Amino acid sequence: MEILQIDLFLFLEKLLLIGGIITFSLVIAMYTTYAERKVAAVIQDRLGPNRAGPFGLAQPLADGLKLFFKEEIIPLTSNKVLFIIGPALAMMTAMLTSAVIPWGSSINVFGRDVSLQIADVNIGVLYVFGVVSLGVYGIMIGGWSSNNKFSLIAAVRGASQIISYELAMGLSLIALLMLTGSLSMKTIVEQQMSGGWGGFLGWNILYQPLGFLIFLICVFAECNRTPFDLPEAENELNFGYHQEYSSMKLGFYLFAEYINMFISSAVVSTLFFGGYDIPFVNETTLAASWGGNIVAVMGFAALFAKIVFFLFLFMWVRWTIPRFRYDQLMDLGWKKLIPLALANMLITAIVILWLNK
């Protein structure tokens, strides 16, 4: 009977927050596709989409509508159940991670402190890892059930890539966790906020530059973004694991990729760039004079700005670097990143011990 004793307002507030964040990430993912095309265009000296609406802003809507109205094709030889589960799983895992990201400090609504984090799990970082690992299944199941050799090759590539890079990612984070001593995302952000210069000197990037670099590279690999986009290599594998997909199921895969990018950017910003910390501003003194709600919104805006920067970085890198060959990919993951991450971990541990002595 414990469950019935949940505060009704808490239930309501979390429901609203979940709805809000899901809508928000969907809209962001939509406009990330637009931004991707625009960034690709300006980097290649083109204009990019500019027909639908002012500056082509209605382009993602048009794309979405098109995907909805396309015919759904389920290949005759495919495994129908898995074929449908694949994109659903990809979308779900992409969304799930957003639950533990602190989108801001708390805002005060009708005398209630509403935290802008869906769940402050004390193993937040582990949760993120778990969910991200589940993301492989979306690719794997989609590629397997399509019953097509290109899709299968792509799925196997994707799975091996994600599993390989997860190791380096985890190792690079262990060094970070030694510093923070906590797995809760909220605590990690609050620790960074308490640093000098209005929190800027507390940012983990200053203490873990190598760890950040490794983490970022692994994030690129986990998101299947160029230079690690082997699972969906258009010119080698005919679009990879979602080759047989059409209509909104394809849309789900494409969307999941962009949501993954968005959430990964949020995770990177949270772990290494102070999350919702506004640099060079002391939030507590500001909150005293301006009111907590305004500062919370500003904090969210700061986090959003960081996320936008990383989204841009994703695109920027995509339109700069060519794809890795498969053996280069494995070489980088196993022979370079993992030893580097181990060394980073060791050095961090030694320095922490040295300073605590």
Task: Give the footprint of other proteins on this chain (CB under 8 A).
Answer: 42-47, 50, 213, 316-317, 319-321
Q: How far is the CB of 43 from other proteins (least distance, A)?
A: 5
Of 67, 36, 102, the residue nearest 263 (C-alpha): 102
Q: How far is the CB of 126 from other proteins (least distance, A)?
A: 29
Q: Which is nearer to other proteins, 43 or 74 (CB)?
A: 43
Of 308, 313, 311, 307, the residue nearest 275 (C-alpha): 307
What the block records as the tokens of 30 is 């939509």
Q: How far is the CB of 228 from other proteins (least distance, A)?
A: 13
Q: 242: helix, coil or strand?
A: helix
Measured from the Cβ of residue 194, the count of other Cβ atoms closer than 10 Å reads 12
**Cβ partners under 8 Å of residue 243, min gap 6:** 146, 148, 150, 151, 154, 237
Cα 267 to Cα 290: distance, rounded to the nearest angstrom: 28
Place of tokens 């990037």: 205
Q: How far is the CB of 319 from other proteins (least distance, A)?
A: 6
Q: Which is nearer to other proteins, 4 or 47 (CB)?
A: 47
Q: Which is nearer to other proteins, 281 or 317 (CB)?
A: 317
Whole-angstrom CA distances from 272 to 112, 255, 306 are: 30, 25, 11
Q: Which is nearer to other proteins, 1 or 47 (CB)?
A: 47
Q: How far is the CB of 44 from other proteins (least distance, A)?
A: 7
Q: How far is the CB of 230 from other proteins (least distance, A)?
A: 17
Q: Which is nearer to other proteins, 96 or 213 (CB)?
A: 213
Of 103, 140, 92, 136, the residue nearest 24 (C-alpha): 103
Q: How far is the CB of 40 from other proteins (least distance, A)?
A: 10
Coarse DSSP helix, strand, coil percentages of the chain, rounded to the nearest 5 percent: 75, 0, 25
Q: How far is the CB of 282 from other proteins (least distance, A)?
A: 33
Q: Which is nearer to other proteins, 81 or 321 (CB)?
A: 321
Backbone angles phi, psi at 106, to 5 degrees: -95, 150
Cα 184 to Cα 210: distance, rounded to the nearest angstrom: 22
Q: Report how far apart the first and last C-alpha atoms of the chain are (Å, whole number).
A: 49
Q: Which is nearer to other proteins, 40 or 85 (CB)?
A: 40
Q: Which is nearer to other proteins, 193 or 341 (CB)?
A: 341
Residue 115 host element (H or E): strand 112-115
